[in-house]
Amino acid sequence: MTTILVTGGTGTLGRLVTERLRADGHEVRVLSRHSEPYAVDLREGGSGLDAALAGVDTVVHCATTQLGGDERSAANLIAAARRAGASHLVYISIVGVDRVPLGYYRPKFAVEKLVEESGIGWTVLRATQFHDLVVQVLRALAKLPVLVLPAHACDQPVEVAEVADRLAELAQGAPAGRAPDVGGPEVRTFESLARAYLGATGRRRAVVNLPLAGKTYRAFRAGGHLAPEHAVGKGTFEEYLAGRFGRGEDGRRG
């Protein structure tokens, strides 16, 4: 049995990673801003962070915020993990953080570097977008009567449970460095994903594909966020939609 700390262990991915590690018999601590007894804001660090890490062998870093500060959080976490003598630091990153100049990706790429240079044994796994995120984005776009999509852009969404399985597996092994990326089973146009979402939720919207400007769009259009050579995921977007909306729960029809 190993003592493992999962940061962001209440989030979409972290919750599943925590479940798997506990099922495998490990002592798992969950750290997030709101999860007692390890309620810590990683951006601030402090004695609560040291207490959370005392006696921990492996740290699985899943915490993130869209509001900024992920780099500072990682620096605090790494410094505390070093003080505590942790032997393995596992980080979940995103395919294309080094190729797509999206604001959220820059700090993630910087955190990869911090992890690699931490002096602690490390593993970094990059994954493509989770199905949940695609639905979140499409739901926001579908608030308008016309669903406007970036023209000629694709995505390769993956089932978060499969990413959790892989991350939990890596956390239980020796430090692996950059692990092979995890991508979903299909590279799909945004339009085909949007039409599947509209169908599954019973929404009717006109769909317009709009060419955009800028280097972020160009990088997405060039597929910088895709990993077709690592299409190892099994669960399709349609299967996810059927599981989530098939019986009408979570979201209205019509």
Which residues are near ligand NAP by CB under 6 A? 7-8, 10-14, 32-35, 40-43, 62-65, 73, 92, 94, 108, 127, 129-130, 133
Please return the burial class of 244, using the count of CB atoms within 10 Å of its CB with bins 0-12, 13-18 and 19+.
middle
Cα(181)–Cα(172) distance, integer angstroms:
18
Pseudo-torsion of CA 73, 77, 78, 79, nearest 10°? 100
Closest separation in Å from C-beta 212 to ligand NAP: 20
Closest separation in Å from C-beta 182 to ligand NAP: 9
- Residue number with CB closer to ligand NAP (141 or 211): 141
Cα(215)–Cα(186) distance, integer angstroms:
25
Closest separation in Å from C-beta 180 to ligand NAP: 14
Residue closest to ligand NAP (Cβ)? 11
Q: Is the dihedral of CA 188, 195, 137, 59 positive or negative?
A: negative
- Residue number with CB closer to ligand NAP (139 or 208): 139
Closest separation in Å from C-beta 44 to ligand NAP: 8
37: preceding bond cis by omega (within 30 degrees): yes
- Residue number with CB closer to ligand NAP (14 or 233): 14
